[in-house]
Amino acid sequence: MQLAISKLLPTYFEKSRSETSEIWGKDLLWKKGEMIKIVAPSGSGKSSLINFLYGMRKDYEGNIRYDQHDLDKTDAESLASLRKDHISIVFQDLRLFPHQTVQENLEIKRQLNPYHPKEKIAEMAERLGIGKKLPSLARTCSYGEQQRVAIIRALMQPFDFLLLDEPFSHLDNRNSELAMQLMLEETRARQASIVFADLERIEFFPFTSLYHL
């Protein structure tokens, strides 16, 4: 699978933003297996970009395609199938079910399209230091703990592209590196790609391409 972006620009940005951006207004092609790092200062449209790539928003000009799937023309059923099989995401605002336990949040995701056995949940949770939080309601966890839950949740399904929107904003360096190592292992096992948007360059992410938004 490959991801093609053509002349993409949020409708609320002026055309001049394309002059300074390495993504807005450009033609880009990312193939499965690439590691894409996007440095995106506040106000540059980082979260908008990730939401565009996931099909969550369509307030943009230009075109986004996953192979033959044009996101702007893909119906809801086809988009759901594309996400289930090919695209996973860690949202900046996490979007956990607050009144479900951590275990339930992860198991709900896993059951939608199982890639891992149920036992993998506990293994990943232990690796990221939240094993004891599995029976806790998600809303009772700290934001940093919730970020780790969201990261594990994204790894419960098959994917060709993993989209990351500031996944470490509430984690210290040690926990960020542990989470990144886990995501890299899972991505390489699938021969997949990561599209990682954050405020700055992350030294422990081995990108193959670097862009400034």
**What is the tally of structural domains in the chain?**
1
How is the chain split among helix, strand and coil, in percent rounded to 5? 40, 25, 40
Q: Which domain holds residue 62?
A: 2-212
CATH number of the CATH domain containing 12: 3.40.50.300
In Å, what is the CA distance from 61 to each residue of 3, 13, 120, 125, 141?
A: 17, 10, 41, 40, 39
Per-residue pLDDT of the chain (213 residues; tens, 9 = 90+): 999 999 999 999 999 999 999 999 999 999 999 999 999 988 899 999 999 999 999 999 999 999 999 999 999 999 999 999 999 999 999 999 999 999 999 999 999 999 999 999 999 999 999 999 999 999 999 999 999 999 999 999 999 999 999 999 999 999 999 999 999 999 999 999 999 999 998 889 999 999 999
CA dist 11 and 67 (Å) reads 24
Q: Given the structure tokens 């210290």, which residue do they identify?
A: 172
pLDDT at 17: 93
Angle (CA) 54-59-63 rounded to 5° is 65
